[in-house]
Amino acid sequence: MSTTHPGPARVQRSGPGPSAVTPKHLARAKITRQRRGSRLKLWAGLVCTLVVVIPVALARVLPLPGPDQQDLASRRLAPFTDGHLFGTDQLGRDLLSRVLHGGQVSLLVGLLAVVVSGLIGIVLGAAAGYFGGWIDTVVSRLLEAQLSLPLLMMLLLVVALFGPSIPVITFVIAIAQWPEVARLTRSLVLVEREKPYVAAARVLGLHRLAILLRHVLPNVVKQASLVVLLLLAQAVLLESALSYLGAGPQRPFATWGRIISDGQDYITTSWWMVTLPGLVIVALVVGVNLLGDGLRDRARRRKVSTS
> What residues make contact with another protein under the rule CB under 8 A?
3-6, 30, 33-34, 37, 40-41, 44, 68-70, 72-73, 75, 90-92, 141, 144-145, 147-154, 156-158, 160-161, 163, 233, 237, 240-241, 244-246, 250-252, 257, 260-262, 264-269, 271, 274-275, 278, 281-282, 285-286, 289-290, 293
Pick the closer one to another protein by CB: 131 or 266. 266
Q: How far is the CB of 294 from another protein (least distance, A)?
A: 10
Q: Quote the DSSP letter at residue 16.
A: S
Pick the closer one to another protein by CB: 2 or 306. 2
Q: How far is the CB of 13 from another protein (least distance, A)?
A: 16
Instruction: Report the half-sphere exposure of 27 (CA within 13 A, side-chain side).
Output: 3
Pick the closer one to another protein by CB: 161 or 203. 161
Pick the closer one to another protein by CB: 146 or 219. 146
CA max distance for the chain = 78
Q: How far is the CB of 206 from another protein (least distance, A)?
A: 30
Q: How far is the CB of 200 from another protein (least distance, A)?
A: 28
Q: Quote the DSSP letter at residue 227.
A: G
| 248 contact partners, CB below 8 Å, separation of at least 6 | 164, 169, 242, 255, 257, 258
133: phi > 0 → left, psi -120 to 50 → alpha, else beta; which? Answer: left
CA dist 48 and 271 (Å) reads 23
Please report the sign of the dihedral spanned by the C-alpha atoms of residue 14, residue 16, residue 17, residue 22: positive
Pick the closer one to another protein by CB: 22 or 250. 250
Q: How far is the CB of 37 from another protein (least distance, A)?
A: 5
Pick the closer one to another protein by CB: 88 or 223. 88
Instruction: Report the half-sphere exposure of 172 (CA within 13 A, side-chain side).
Output: 28
Please classify residue 226 by burial: count the beta carbons closer than 10 Å to its beta carbon, then call 0-12 exposed, 13-18 middle and 19+ buried: middle
Q: How far is the CB of 41 from another protein (least distance, A)?
A: 8
CA dist 124 and 113 (Å) reads 16
